[in-house]
Structure 1
Amino acid sequence: MSDTFTTRTVHIETGGHETVTDLTGECERFLGEAAAGRDGLLNVFVPHATAGIAVLETGAGSDDDLLTALRDLLPADDRWQHRHGSPGHGRDHVVPALVAPHATLPVIAGRLELGTWQSVCLVDTNVDNPDRQVRLSFLG
C-alpha cells in the first residue's frame, strides 16, 4: 500500500494558437518535492474538455506533426454539431477522445521514467481558451 499522495495544480498559458506544450520540466520539479526519492506513479491530468496529455518526442517535428495530424483528422470547419466559439471549435471537443486528458507514468527513485526521446506534453487545439490547468499527482 502506498504511503503518500501529493497533488498540485499548475497553470499553463497556451496562447491563442494550437500548441503542444512540454510539461516534462514541470513534472520533474514536482517530483523533486513530492516523490523524495520514492518509487510510485505520476498522474498528469488536464481538466478541460478540449485538451489532452500526450507522451511524445518534441523539438524534432513530432509535436508539429501531431498538430498537423489532428488538423487532417478533425478539420476546423462547419461539420461539427457542437457550435460556439471560433469556427470549427466543435472539433476541439473531439480531441480528448484521440489524445486522452491524462497519462500515468512510472516514477523510480523519485525520477520520471521516460524513454530517451519522450516528453510529457499538453496538447491544446482550442484557440478560444489559452488558460489551462494541469493537475500533477504523485502516489508512492
Structure 2
Amino acid sequence: MRQEQTSFGVSSGGATLVEITDEIDNWLRGTGIVTGLVTIFCRHTSASLTINENAAPAVRRDLLRWLDKAVPKGSHYEHDDEGPDDMPAHIKSMLTGNSLTVPVSGGRMALGTWQGIYLVEHRSMSHRRNIVVHIIGE
C-alpha cells in the first residue's frame, strides 16, 4: 500500500458551490495509484464538501436556497461574532459535512456519470478555503 497527500486552496466568491472534481482527479492521476480510497477534507467550520449532480446548474441554486430556508440568517443566534451569517454557516457545515471518502478504480474516482465534488461556501463574503486530499492504495 502507498499513500500520497496534497492540499490546495479554493476561492469561493461568497455563498456558492465550487466544483473541485477536476483538480482532485488531476492530482490523483499523478500519484500513479490505481485502486484505493481517496479522502477529501475541508479545513473550515463554515464551509463543507458534498457530492452532487454536476450537469444542471439549477441543482446548485436549489441546494443553496434549501440550505438558506432550513438554516436562515437572523438575530436569534447567540454566536454572531462575524455577522448574521456566522452561526448559520456553522450549522450548514455540520449538516453537510467536512469530509468525503470516494473509492478509486482504474486510477480515477469511482463517481457516477453526473456526480461532482463540491466545496460548499456557506458565508456571504468571499473566502479562500483549504482542502486536504489523501489517497491510500496501490
After superposition, residues 95-106 of structure 1 pair within 5 angstroms as 95-106=92-103
**AA of the residue aligned to 1:4:** R
Per-residue CA deviation, residues 25-84 of structure 1 (Å, 9 max, x unaligned), is: 0111111112x1520011110010111110001341111111111000011111212111
- Give the paired residue count: 136
More displaced 10-residue stretch of structure 1: 89-98 or 100-109: 89-98
Q: Find 2:130's aligned residue among 120, 130, 133.
A: 133
List gaps (5 residues or longer) in structure 1: none
Segments of 5+ residues of structure 2 without an aligned counterpart are: none
Could you say what secondary structure the match of 1:94 adopts?
Answer: helix
* Normalised TM-score (structure 1): 0.92
Q: Indicate the percent of aligned positions where both proteins have the same amino acid.
A: 26
TM-score by length of 2: 0.93
Give the aligned partner of residue 5 of structure 2: 7
User: Alignment partner for residue 43 of structure 1, among 36, 39, 42?
Assistant: 39
Residue 101 of structure 1 aligns with an amino acid whose one-letter code is N
Please give the root-mean-square deviation of Cα atoms over the aligned residues, in Å: 1.2
Change (3 A) 1:37 1:7: closer
C-alpha deviation, 1:128, in angstroms: 4.0
Higher strand residue share? 2
**Counterpart residue identity of residue 6, structure 1:** E
Mapped partners of 1:88, 1:131: distance in 2:
17
